[in-house]
Structure 1
Amino acid sequence: MLEHVFSEMVIAGAGWTQEPPHRYILVYMKISLDRCVACGNCVAICPVGAIDIDPVINRATVDQDRCVECFACYRGLSTEHLNPTLVRSMRKVFSWFRLRFDPEPDVCPTDAIEPQDLAWPRIVRRAFSDPLVPHESTGIHGRGTEEVKTNDVTHRVGEGEVGFTIEFGRPSVSASFRDISGVTETLAAAGIAFEANNPVTHLMDDPSTGKIREDILDERVLSAIVEVKTTMERVPEILRIVREAAENIETIIAIGVSTRCDAEGGSALESVLHDEGVPFWRGKTNLGLGRASQVEPVAGSG
């Protein structure tokens, strides 16, 4: 079961704990109400706007539905250990003289942010949102895939083939697996195969249907990448499928398309994209400097 795949990350020292399924206790990123002094520094650093100052209690609170467990608030702010009662008193006294007593913008003055142990399925959020945590399914940090950046070594995309990276979400606009599943199911229905060495593929009940596991559909992540490979002739079809599916979901989709160039550095992909009204930029080029994974023996070399 995939729960066990993620639970191995605990053994690897990722700092997460997991109980058997019937004993799960869901815990999240937390800001201590006792220590918070409502300075607002964590509000500005959250990439998805999940932290706000509650005007009723005058404390920072985390919207657990929007939080993607990226740990940006925890790692992005240095900490001081000032007494929260003293800080609140000083701010109140200063306000009488229309003065402000605020910490530096990159500091949590009272060490109020308290990361909690994560359990399934919320642990999936951190796996896709925290760039310092590797995916257990691929061993790669961040979104868990190198895409075609290492194609000169991995040979994912061969001659005459086209690789697609379909990225869901961005900082400030996260994505839910329910939205992602809506697109992957549509692609699967068209007979499109998914890259096996990809963390989103590992979360599918059955890659042939593209349906993502029911228990994580409502989990949100900073971003996730779906990868597929097809022939040059099917490029317009895939672009159409993604465009139509994007109209029914509430996130941003960015598409990357890759292919092998010919000896002169050109490819048929440019004209195909031009015909579809898609702007073409050479964003990244593999120069073949990687170490070849398969080397043909030289004749007569023994």
Structure 2
Amino acid sequence: MRIDESRCVACGNCVPICPVGAISIDPVARRARVNRDECVECHACYRGMSKEHLYPPLVRAIRRVAAALRFRFDPEPDICPTDALTPETLAWPRVVRRAFSDPQVPHESTGITGRGTAEVKTNDVTGRVKEGEAGFVIEFGRPGVGARFREIQAMTTALAALGVEFERQNPVTSLMTDPRRGILREDILDEKVLSAIVEVKAGLEQVPLVLGAVREVSRRLTTVVAVGVSTRCDASGGDRLRAILEAEGYPAYRGKTNLGLGRATAGRLS
């Protein structure tokens, strides 16, 4: 995202809209600035504000007079009064930021918007995770922190060393040059995104090892890490995962199952 300095009047309305704090007001230039290194190209500022087309020199003059007379002249807080926010045409690798951060942009690898994956919660339809297996969803960056792929790679390499299987229909996996080692493309490692999800599966006996690796790596990261673990219940509705999680000190809850109503189940498809 770029801010047109010829149009910006430094009203500051865009500053709190940015979910990663990449916009600030330069007190000397009296213009809003975008920290391009921190901006994740989510377009929240552009879509989250109404746009007026007031004449910038007139708005600046009114604001100066208002300041001299000690009263405020500010636009409504959800409006960019001079339409100064300007989306850019993004090239590789910066375009990766928008793919992972703008919920309206589908990922090329999966065709899914948002983080680009339906996650293991749709397992009743996809059948990704079988009995005796655990599916892991490891999320980076939310809320309001963001994550760089270099930190995500620190996690994927640690997980790969345990022999886990990365979900192929996942946008992070699609950016790997060596899935066996969890290595991502070198040219994206310094790119920052609002959020990303890594999905892996392993045998239930490996759950303690995977959780231990996630705990150890997350202590070295500057971003936020959240983990979800799921499994397929047996014919009687029971599962072995609950006891494993409780032994590791994690409370277990049954929930978040997106039923594929009206569709053939994974069992019938196989």
TM range (shorter): over 0.9
**TM-superposition CA deviations, 1:28-85 (whole Å, max 9, x none):** x100111001111110100000000011101100001100000001111110000111
In the alignment, what sits opposite 1:108?
80
On the 8 A contact 2:101/2:195 being kept in 1, the answer is yes
In the alignment, what sits opposite 1:259?
231
Distance 1:173 1:248 in 2: 15
1:99 paired with 2:71, answer yes
In the alignment, what sits opposite 1:291?
263
Q: CA deviation at 1:206?
A: 1.0
TM-score, normalising length from structure 1?
0.86
1:40 paired with 2:12, answer yes
Structure 1 291/40 Cα, relative in aligned 2: closer, same or farther at 3 Å? same
Instruction: Give SS of 1:64's match.
Output: coil
2:119 to 147, 163, 173: 147
Structure 1 regions of 5+ residues with no counterpart? 1-28, 298-302
On the 8 A contact 1:259/1:269 being kept in 2, the answer is yes
Name the amino acid aligned to 2:36. Q
Structure 1 53/227 Cα, relative in aligned 2: closer, same or farther at 3 Å? same
On the 8 A contact 1:152/1:289 being kept in 2, the answer is no
Distance 1:262 1:166 in 2: 24
Distance 2:228 2:240 in 1: 16
In the alignment, what sits opposite 1:245?
217
Distance 1:113 1:288 in 2: 41
Distance 1:251 1:237 in 2: 21
In the alignment, what sits opposite 1:175?
147
In the alignment, what sits opposite 2:34?
62
Q: CA deviation at 1:281?
A: 2.5
Distance 1:265 1:43 in 2: 50
Distance 2:250 2:266 in 1: 35
Instruction: Give SS of 1:53's match.
Output: strand
2:173 to 181, 184, 201: 201
In the alignment, what sits opposite 1:18?
none
Distance 1:135 1:287 in 2: 23
Q: CA deviation at 1:160?
A: 1.7
On the 8 A contact 1:198/1:226 being kept in 2, the answer is yes
Q: CA deviation at 1:190?
A: 1.6
Structure 2 regions of 5+ residues with no counterpart? none
TM-score, normalising length from structure 2?
0.96
In the alignment, what sits opposite 1:77?
49
Name the amino acid aligned to 1:259. T
Instruction: Give SS of 1:180's match.
Output: helix
Distance 1:182 1:290 in 2: 40
In the alignment, what sits opposite 1:118?
90
Q: CA deviation at 1:99?
A: 1.0
Name the amino acid aligned to 2:169. N
Instruction: Give SS of 2:136's match.
Output: strand
1:227 to 190, 199, 203: 199
Distance 2:220 2:177 in 1: 22
On the 8 A contact 2:133/2:203 being kept in 1, the answer is yes
1:156 paired with 2:135, answer no
Q: CA deviation at 1:163?
A: 0.2
Say what the alpha-carbon RMSD is for the aligned residues.
1.5
Q: CA deviation at 1:278?
A: 1.1
Instruction: Give SS of 2:242's match.
Output: helix
- Percentage identity across aligned positions? 66
In the alignment, what sits opposite 1:5?
none
Q: CA deviation at 1:286?
A: 4.2
On the 8 A contact 1:152/1:292 being kept in 2, the answer is no
On the 8 A contact 2:14/2:45 being kept in 1, the answer is yes
In the alignment, what sits opposite 2:162?
190
On the 8 A contact 1:77/1:106 being kept in 2, the answer is yes
Mean Cα deviation higher: 210-219 or 266-275: 266-275
1:132 paired with 2:88, answer no
How many residues in Structure 1 have an aligned counterpart in Structure 2? Answer: 269
Q: CA deviation at 1:255?
A: 0.2
Q: CA deviation at 1:234?
A: 0.6
In the alignment, what sits opposite 1:218?
190
Name the amino acid aligned to 2:184. I
Structure 1 293/271 Cα, relative in aligned 2: closer, same or farther at 3 Å? closer
In the alignment, what sits opposite 1:236?
208
Instruction: Give SS of 1:43's match.
Output: coil
